[in-house]
């Protein structure tokens, strides 16, 4: 499994950042078990920083400790998914609105670049690249709101839904709609239109949620 490159941070922070990004991008499957030894080998580091990173992800609800003491990716239920989606529908449009004062030409140009890359990734069947750019696209907007706690709460929601995102890989109609909605977000940011950016973000979340809900347990 490919992980994000390690940085110059302390090893436990490197491990946490890399594993967190992998979860956000759907590189772990729901119900998948992970081991400290296996992750350490993949990341090229010792067991101690991996253990610390896993403990942090368990505390955030991104991973869970099963009855047999193994660490695994949680299985998402329809009820939990509906709860998380309802929270996202409140937090993310608000973050988009709060980003408007900082939606300058540079931000919109970067978003346009990411959206074009997502189009290319889908055309070439590179879904993992699509997910990486999709995550970067959204959080570039949310970071522009300059509200770290709000961004943290949104990140916790994404951590819980990330492992399900690969279910969207074969949903061709959704990909077209999603990129159109991304374009609408960019235009709304350029126009400094609070209502339009909120509507576009909410529609993006709902459309993905409708597809993902089909794959969830009752």
Per-residue pLDDT of the chain (218 residues; tens, 9 = 90+): 666 555 556 888 989 999 998 888 888 888 899 989 999 898 888 989 999 999 999 999 999 988 777 899 998 888 999 999 999 999 999 999 999 999 999 999 999 999 999 989 888 888 888 888 999 999 999 999 999 999 999 999 999 988 888 777 666 666 667 778 899 999 999 999 999 999 999 999 998 888 888 877 54
Residue 218: its pLDDT value, please?
46
Residue 89: its pLDDT value, please?
98
Closest CA to 90 of 157, 1, 186: 157
**pTM for the whole structure:** 0.85
- Residue pair 185/200 in contact (Cβ under 8 Å)? The answer is yes
Q: Produce one character per residue of 94-106: b if its CB has 16 or more CB atoms within 10 Å, e if not.
A: bbbbbbbeebeee
Residue 8: its pLDDT value, please?
52
- Residue pair 29/166 in contact (Cβ under 8 Å)? The answer is yes
25 CB-contact burial (10 Å; exposed 0-12 / middle 13-18 / buried 19+): buried
* Strand locations in 10-144 (E): 33-34, 64-65, 71-72
Closest CA to 98 of 184, 202, 198, 185: 198
Q: How far apart are CA 40 and CA 34, in angstroms?
A: 10
The backbone region for 2, taken as left when phi is positive above 0, alpha when psi lies in -120 to 50, beta otherwise, is beta
């Amino acid at each position: 499994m490919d992980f994000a490159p390690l940085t110059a941070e302390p090893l436990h922070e490197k491990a946490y950042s890399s594993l967190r990004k992998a979860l956000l991008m759907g590189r772990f499957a729901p119900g998948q078990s992970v081991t400290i030894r296996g992750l350490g080998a993949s990341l090229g580091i010792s067991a101690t920083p991996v253990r610390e990173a896993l403990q942090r992800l368990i505390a955030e609800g991104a991973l869970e400790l099963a009855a047999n003491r193994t660490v695994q990716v949680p299985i998402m239920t329809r009820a939990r998914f509906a709860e998380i989606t309802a929270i996202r529908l409140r937090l993310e449009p608000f973050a988009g609105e709060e980003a408007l004062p900082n939606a300058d030409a540079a931000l919109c140009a970067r978003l346009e670049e990411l959206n074009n890359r997502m189009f290319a990734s889908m055309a070439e069947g590179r879904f993992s690249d699509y997910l990486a750019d999709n995550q970067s696209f959204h959080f570039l907007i949310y970071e522009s709101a300059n509200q770290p706690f709000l961004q943290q709460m949104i990140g916790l929601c994404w951590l819980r839904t990330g492992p399900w995102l690969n279910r969207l890989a074969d949903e061709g109609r959704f990909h077209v709609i999603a990129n159109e909605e991304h374009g609408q977000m960019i235009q709304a940011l350029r126009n400094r239109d609070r209502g339009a950016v909120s509507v576009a973000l909410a529609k993006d979340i709902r459309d993905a949620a409708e597809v993902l809900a089909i794959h969830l347990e009752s």
